[in-house]
Amino acid sequence: MKDYIKDCLFELYMNVSTNRFGQVNISSHSPSIFGSRKEDVMQWCNENPGVLQFGTYGNRYGTYTAFTIQDAEIRQACSDALKYNESHITNLNSW
């Protein structure tokens, strides 16, 4: 399951758009990126702490669930993927 999570996040960070400072928007960290295995991933992460931490947040538009990446190996893979993201490179070099 950890490899599946890593693959999904790597794919996300390779293709996600970034803001003008090269930062990834937190709304990209939605469990929906795991597709049909979303519930399995959330359950696995609750049983195996230290990989992803899920939290429910709210604002005037409603509530949503997002996650933070806690595993160092997955975080490094995401960082490596972002280095080759065209949007990230363009936005960092634009100013």
Q: Domain containing 82: what range?
A: 2-93
Contacts of 8 (CB under 8 A, 6+ apart): 33, 34, 35
Q: What is the pLDDT of residues 65-88, one digit of tens each?
A: 999 999 999 999 999 999 999 999
pTM attached to this predicted model: 0.87
The answer to whether 88 and 18 have CB atoms below 8 angstroms apart is yes
3-state DSSP call for residue 23?
Answer: coil
Alpha-carbon span 42 to 31, nearest angstrom = 8
State the DSSP H helix or E strand holding residue 87, giving kind and residue range, or none if neither. helix 86-93
Domain count of the fold of the chain: 1
List per-residue pLDDT tens for the chain, 95 residues long.
999 999 999 999 999 999 988 898 877 789 999 999 999 999 999 999 999 999 998 888 899 899 999 999 999 999 999 999 999 999 888 87
Cα–Cα distance measured from residue 85 to residue 22, given in angstroms and rounded to the nearest whole number: 10
